[in-house]
């Protein structure tokens, strides 16, 4: 039976099995359709031929809709090709296995099963590394996207809960912006437009759900400017900014198609498209807030979360324990935290990894019981209350390091010396490998920007967990 016929027959079988719960019948389907040919393969050529047939079947659209069967086909192809020393077929089988694993993660994410999707994508990353497939950056980008989707889903749920309690203009507009900017779903966002919503936003939403070919040139220009303004929002994620600029460029180019010639309006359109093409002003920043681990694994008796997600996307932190982000800078970097202190003293603590070992710098402010650790801290400094920006610049080269800390641009601590002089991990300090925060605060953003070197994305910010790959 040739591979096209095999694909057709299995596709029909899958259609019959789908209503019955095909997952229970994957092995049975495979055995009936493919086992006879596998068992009949005796020579090297026959085994390679059987492996190729399995791979062709696995690549079909029908199989990609059933990742479990796709994965089984690829694994069996890999087994056959390996036994037959068919290196090319084996390599293709590995690619197919990875594709099936990613298909599974993608399907789980689409169903809102984000934790399962992250597990599947993590397994795909380990498989790619073991099989020497050059896909690590792509897979990690998938993992980051799923984490972002999970974060946005939780934020949307929180906002909708707030809307159910009190249907206010502010909350409704926050949900609309979240759906458009971060979730790229203007259709769903448009359902929330009401007379209470800002008229300009309501008009933009009506245009955003209209087919581009049906828009007038003025409407295209309007939407291009709107999406560009969304991309400029300070609290937008990198992915959200990228999507918004992409939409801005698409509408801008449509405007140019409808508006030929050379006049001020067209020149404005050209300038707008050029601006949409530019990288955002904060290019190179890693959005770390949604990666924060709000559990407390180093205190197993603590069952509750150490922070909670608020309806505006910020996080309220508990004062008693650290939270951490699984980013381990391996070089010089800048950390920026925008928060509102909830402590009368304005107290906060930042845990800053330095170098490639377990050295770290423990930066604190407004905490009397820690001042003895920071003789170089600016004395008699009045810690600002309300919303503020904490910045730490860590410069590292070999055994030498320098750390400068500032609040709202005012330097309050500067340290330089050998990394061996820094506090190592011990029982009295938090067991963190990534960037940690301890403060009674409402945190609006946490960003990291590498100056030299690269940032490792850890599977977990806590100790005894492996790093996975560089994150740009």
The alpha-helical segments, DSSP class H, found in 59-86 are 61-64, 67-83
pTM (two decimals): 0.54
Going from N- to C-terminal start, the domains of the chain cover 3-134, 155-285, 286-471
User: Hey, what CATH topology would domain 155-285 get?
Assistant: 1.25.40
The answer to whether residue 306 scores a pLDDT higher than 90 is no
* Percent with pLDDT over 70 in the chain: 70
The answer to whether residue 223 scores a pLDDT higher than 50 is yes
List pLDDT tens digits, range 327-385: 888 888 888 888 887 776 667 778 888 876 667 776 766 544 333 333 334 445 566 76
Q: Are 310 and 469 in contact (CB under 8 A)?
A: no
Q: Residue 206's pLDDT band (boundaries 50, 70, 90)?
A: very high
106 contact partners, CB below 8 Å, separation of at least 6: 117, 142
Closest-CA residue to 222 (of 202, 236, 241): 202
CB-based burial of residue 241 (10 Å sphere; 0-12 exposed, 13-18 middle, 19+ buried)?
buried
Q: Are 230 and 204 in contact (CB under 8 A)?
A: no
For the chain, state the CA radius of gyration: 27
List pLDDT tens digits, range 261-283: 888 999 999 998 888 876 544 45
User: Hey, what CATH topology would domain 286-471 get?
Assistant: Jelly Rolls (2.60.120)
Q: Are 227 and 275 in contact (CB under 8 A)?
A: no
Q: Residue 22's pLDDT band (boundaries 50, 70, 90)?
A: very low
Average pLDDT score over residue span 416-420: 79
- Which pair of tokens denotes residue 4? 């096209």
The answer to whether residue 151 scores a pLDDT higher than 70 is yes
């Amino acid at each position: 039976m040739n591979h096209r016929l095999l694909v057709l027959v299995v596709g029909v079988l899958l259609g019959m099995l789908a209503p019955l719960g095909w997952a229970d019948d994957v092995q049975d389907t495979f055995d009936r359709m493919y086992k006879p040919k596998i068992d009949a393969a005796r020579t090297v050529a026959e085994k390679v031929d059987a492996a190729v047939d399995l791979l062709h079947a696995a690549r079909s659209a029908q199989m990609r809709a059933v990742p479990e069967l796709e994965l089984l086909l690829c694994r069996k192809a890999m087994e056959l090709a390996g036994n037959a020393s068919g290196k090319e077929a084996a390599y293709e089988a590995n690619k197919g296995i990875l594709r099936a694993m990613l298909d599974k993660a993608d399907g789980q994410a689409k169903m809102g099963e984000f934790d399962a999707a992250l597990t599947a994508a993590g397994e795909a990353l380990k498989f790619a590394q073991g099989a020497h497939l050059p896909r690590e950056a792509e897979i990690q980008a998938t993992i980051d996207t799923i984490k972002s989707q999970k974060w946005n889903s939780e934020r949307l749920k929180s906002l909708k809960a707030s809307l159910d309690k009190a249907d206010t203009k502010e909350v409704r507009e926050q949900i609309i912006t979240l759906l458009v900017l971060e979730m790229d779903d203007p259709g769903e966002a448009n359902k929330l437009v009401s007379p209470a919503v800002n008229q300009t936003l309501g008009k933009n939403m009506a245009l955003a759900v209209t087919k581009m070919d049906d828009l007038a040139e003025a409407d295209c220009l309007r939407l291009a400017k709107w999406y560009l303004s969304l991309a400029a929002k300070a609290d937008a994620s990198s992915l959200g900014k990228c999507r918004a600029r992409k939409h801005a460029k698409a509408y801008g180019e449509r405007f140019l198609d409808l508006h030929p010639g050379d006049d001020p309006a067209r020149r404005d359109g050209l300038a707008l498209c050029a601006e949409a093409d530019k990288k955002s002003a904060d290019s190179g920043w890693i959005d770390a807030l949604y990666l924060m681990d709000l559990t407390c694994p180093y205190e197993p008796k603590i069952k509750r979360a150490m922070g909670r997600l608020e309806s505006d996307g910020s996080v309220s932190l508990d004062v008693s324990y650290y939270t951490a982000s699984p980013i381990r800078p391996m070089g010089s970097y800048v950390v920026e935290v925008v928060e509102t202190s909830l402590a009368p003293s304005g107290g906060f603590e930042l845990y800053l990894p330095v170098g490639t070992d377990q050295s770290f710098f423990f930066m604190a402010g407004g905490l009397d019981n820690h001042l003895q650790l920071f003789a170089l801290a600016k004395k008699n400094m009045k810690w600002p209350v309300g919303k503020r920006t904490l910045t730490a610049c860590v410069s590292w080269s070999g055994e030498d390091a320098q750390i400068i800390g500032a609040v709202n641009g005012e330097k309050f601590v500067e340290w330089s010396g050998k990394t061996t002089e820094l506090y190592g991990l011990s029982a009295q300090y938090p067991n963190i490998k990534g960037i940690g925060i301890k403060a009674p605060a409402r945190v609006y953003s946490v960003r990291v920007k590498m100056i030299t070197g690269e940032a490792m994305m850890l599977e977990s910010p806590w100790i005894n967990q492996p790093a996975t790959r560089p994150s740009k």
